[in-house]
Amino acid sequence: MKQADLVITNTAEIITVSGNGRPKRGKEMSNLEIIPRGAVACNRGRIVWVGPETDMDRYVSIEPDAVHVDAENGAILPGLVDCHTHLIFAGSRENEFAQKIAGVPYMEIAAAGGGIKSTVRATRAASVADLVAAGRQRIREGFSFGVTAHEIKSGYGLDTESELKILRAARDLRSEMNMELPRTFLGAHEIPPKTGRREYLDLVCEEMIPRVAREGLAEFCDVFCEKGVFSVEEARRVLNTGLLHGLSPKIHAEQLSNSGGTVLAAELNAVSADHLDYIDDDGIHALIRSGTIGVLLPGAVFFLGLNRYAPARKMIDSGMTIALSTDFNPGSCMSQNLPLIMTIACTQCRMTIQEAISACTLNAAFAAGRGTVCGSIEPGKRADLIILDTPAYSMIPYHFGHNHVRHVFCGGIPVVRNFCFQSFP
Ligand SMILES: [Zn+2]
């Protein structure tokens, strides 16, 4: 018998997304491993049992003071994993958004000190405590959308101390929040103003990466490989230096043009290659061979008002492993609403509802290096769970913009309770 200090019963169904210890590839993404009328039992923050509610008595011994949650016929999902975020930054750019929609070109905004430069200025001026406070607020917002784990990238410091400061803020959040917040060093996000590119790359490779690794501040190293930013050769140097220091590679690739980043990702067996709006057939086949996860960020395409979305249908039909994420950042996707990203993936990238769910849970957990820890409802995993206000999980992408998340547990702790409208007095 399994001891339980938290049980959830009276569910319509449990969408376990369980997957044999590896991410779901191609067709497997359609299989959500659903248990109708299921129950889930947890102990000390971990899932200990999941199965049909009628079987629970035979396998689970409920502690006298256990928390018993009635799902009121809602569906249960694993907590969502946002596997590509720039969660820690200071300032915001709503004025620039207004300019952009009025038709001012980005280059003009950037030349006037706006764009990424303004976020870098604000982030450099912020203290670790400021950044932790901003991060905490955003993590709480993530909870309201059912997100119980975030990958967090640096990249708005662009000098050694500021990059380390962002990663330290993410580390402090990790110890405060009891949740999975894997960190990625993205010093090679952009070349800072008044710095030569060679000079900056030397700084990234010879000073930043060794210090990040020495202080244990990140487990991944990422680079923005794009025309006008970092070339494939430069990206290779950054990622290889990361590998030498024990940081696993990730890459921003083929976002605005086909620059060859996916082939590099495959060559280095990167954990993930992200964006991929301009990926070609060679890129798809390279990623399938290397097992690199394609992380699609359709919210950025949507928010930038572009129209070229990643060819998700072709990628999944060819057998690729796909995850979805917000790309939450102040310039190209100012939203943490991962359920809304599912809708965009379904309508614009032609992903099925089941594929979108796999892509935001188990596959996202693998893309964030946490595939054995969270992302599915399986014994041994963290008790990261969402209870919906509806029996049908397909309502999430369908009823877009509405929040179907009613209760959220993160490591067995309730972080959202009964998120719903109160009735009028
Ligand atoms: Zn990004």
**pLDDT tens readout for residues 206-263:** 999 999 999 999 999 999 999 989 999 999 999 999 999 999 999 999 999 999 999 9
Angle, CA of 9, 10 and 14, to the nearest 5°: 75
Q: What is the arithmetic mean of pLDDT over 104-129?
A: 91
Q: Measured in angstroms, how far is the CA atom of residue 252 from the centroid of ligand 1?
A: 6
Asked if residue 254 lies in contact with residue 279, where contact means CB atoms within 8 angstroms, the answer is yes
Walk me through the domains of the chain, giving residue ranges and CATH numbers. 2-79+375-416 (2.30.40.10), 80-367 (3.20.20.140)
- Give helix then strand counts, H and E, for the chain: 17, 18
pLDDT-derived band at 113, boundaries 50, 70, 90: confident
Residue 421 has pLDDT above 60, yes or no: no
Per-residue model confidence (pLDDT) at position 112: 85
* Beta-bridge mates of residue 86: none
Q: Measured in angstroms, how far is the CA atom of residue 127 from the centroid of ligand 1?
A: 23
Q: Measured in angstroms, how far is the CA atom of residue 149 from the centroid of ligand 1?
A: 16
CB within 5 A of ion ligand 1: which residues? 327
Taking only the tens place, the pLDDT of each residue in 358-408 is: 999 999 999 999 999 999 999 999 999 999 999 999 999 999 999 999 999
Residue in 339, 324, 333, 335 with CA at minimum distance from that of residue 408: 339
Per-residue model confidence (pLDDT) at position 424: 56
Q: Measured in angstroms, how far is the CA atom of residue 423 from the centroid of ligand 1?
A: 40
Q: Measured in angstroms, how far is the CA atom of residue 8 from the centroid of ligand 1?
A: 36
Q: Measured in angstroms, how far is the CA atom of residue 85 from the centroid of ligand 1?
A: 6
Asked if residue 281 lies in contact with residue 304, where contact means CB atoms within 8 angstroms, the answer is no
Q: What is the arithmetic mean of pLDDT over 96-105?
A: 91
Query: In this prediction, what percent of the chain has a pLDDT beyond 70?
Result: 98
* Centroid of chain to Cα 14: 22
Rounded CA separation 348/239 (Å): 31
pLDDT-derived band at 23, boundaries 50, 70, 90: very high
Residue 257, SS3 per DSSP: coil
pTM of the model as a whole:
0.97
Per-residue model confidence (pLDDT) at position 423: 52
Q: Measured in angstroms, how far is the CA atom of residue 297 from the centroid of ligand 1?
A: 8
Q: Measured in angstroms, how far is the CA atom of residue 325 from the centroid of ligand 1?
A: 10
Q: Measured in angstroms, how far is the CA atom of residue 334 from the centroid of ligand 1?
A: 11
Q: Measured in angstroms, how far is the CA atom of residue 328 from the centroid of ligand 1?
A: 7
